[in-house]
């Protein structure tokens, strides 16, 4: 399994928690001895415009540092999608996150919708016909939902639950129902952990979710799967949570 990462993701591009110093370092330290890392190329404006309006792209371009890192993040998601659609499961260790970025607006630490850009490119190149996006971040990915609203080729699912078991059950039930997909893509946010903002999940739950999504992909999608990083803000537990998920998600 490969990890998509670029040293520029260490750069602090804004003052928000997703850009905080030490965040990416904590994850890299947890993963570097176990997984192979490869660097992405930046996305092109054409890649962005499959999801975002030109005026939105130009607005983000007004902050050159955010724009440059954002292009790399989108490029990392694209590479993760291409590899995940082909030879092996892949994870985009990227930032800024993306699931609050809609076609013409963004908020919540996001600028470009990385996972949507990756899925749109796979669809455009006819590498897939249908995709399931599982977003287990604490927050609903309104940008991803808005992007694919009315699009029968992509299903967006954000599990909810008042308690830990209900939340996990909702994921298991969804993965056990509709199976007509060519790939499963994961918006992997780790801020629902018991020591992060959401205060709900244990580290072992991320391993379970990773294994469930792996099993789903092997049974229904010829093993095609990839994920990208979204939220997760407690640096002391973040690396272990990402590693737990990937150990379940990998072959």
- Per-residue pLDDT averaged across 194-212, rounded? 98
pLDDT in tens, 31-90: 999 999 999 999 999 999 999 999 999 999 999 999 999 999 999 999 999 999 987 999
Topology of domain 2-249, per CATH?
3.40.800
pLDDT in tens, 86-105: 879 999 999 999 999 999 99
User: What is the pLDDT confidence band of residue 108, given thresholds at 50, 70 and 90?
Assistant: very high
Q: Kindly state the average pLDDT of the residues 138-153.
A: 98
Average pLDDT over residues 119-146: 98
Tell me: pLDDT of 160 over 80.
yes
Per-residue confidence at 178, pLDDT binned at 50, 70, 90? Answer: confident
Q: What is the pTM of this model?
A: 0.97
pLDDT score for 248:
98
Q: Is the pLDDT of residue 5 over 80?
A: yes
Helix (H), strand (E), coil (C) string for the chain: CEEECCHHHHCCCCCCHHHCCCHHHHHHHHHCCCCEEECCCCCCHHHHHCCCCHHHHHHHHCCHHHHHHHHHHHHHHHHHHHHHHCCCCEEECCCCCCCCECCCCECCCCCCCHHHHHHHHHHHCCCCCCEEEEECCCCCCHHHHHHCCCCCCEEEECCCCCCHHHHHHHHHHHHCCCCCCCEEEEEECCCCECCCCCCCECHHHHHHHHHHHHHHHHHHCCCCEEEEECCCCCHHHHHHHHHHHHHHHCC
For the chain, the average pLDDT equals 97
């Amino acid at each position: 399994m490969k990890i998509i990462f670029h040293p520029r993701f260490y750069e602090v591009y804004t003052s928000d928690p997703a850009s905080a110093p030490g965040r990416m370092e904590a994850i890299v330290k947890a993963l570097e001895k176990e997984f192979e890392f490869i660097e992405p190329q930046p996305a092109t404006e054409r890649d962005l415009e499959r999801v975002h309006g030109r005026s939105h792209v130009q607005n983000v371009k007004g902050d050159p540092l955010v724009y440059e890192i954002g292009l790399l993040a989108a490029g990392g998601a694209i590479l993760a999608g291409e590899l995940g659609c082909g030879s092996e499961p892949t994870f985009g260790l990227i930032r800024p996150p993306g699931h609050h970025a809609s076609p013409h607006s963004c908020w919540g630490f996001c600028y470009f919708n990385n996972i949507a850009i990756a899925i749109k490119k796979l669809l455009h190149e006819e590498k897939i016909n249908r995709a399931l996006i599982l977003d287990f971040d604490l927050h609903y990915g309104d940008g991803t939902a808005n992007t694919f609203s009315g699009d029968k080729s992509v299903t967006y699912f954000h599990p909810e639950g008042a308690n830990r078991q209900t939340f996990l059950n909702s994921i298991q039930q969804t993965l056990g129902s509709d199976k007509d997909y060519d790939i499963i893509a994961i918006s992997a946010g780790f801020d629902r952990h018991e020591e992060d903002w959401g205060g709900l999940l244990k580290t072992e739950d991320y391993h379970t979710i990773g294994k469930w999504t792996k099993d789903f992909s092997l049974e229904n999608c010829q093993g095609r799967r990839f994920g990208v990083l979204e939220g997760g803000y407690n640096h002391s537990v973040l690396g272990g949570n990402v590693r737990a998920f990937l150990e379940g998600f990998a072959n």
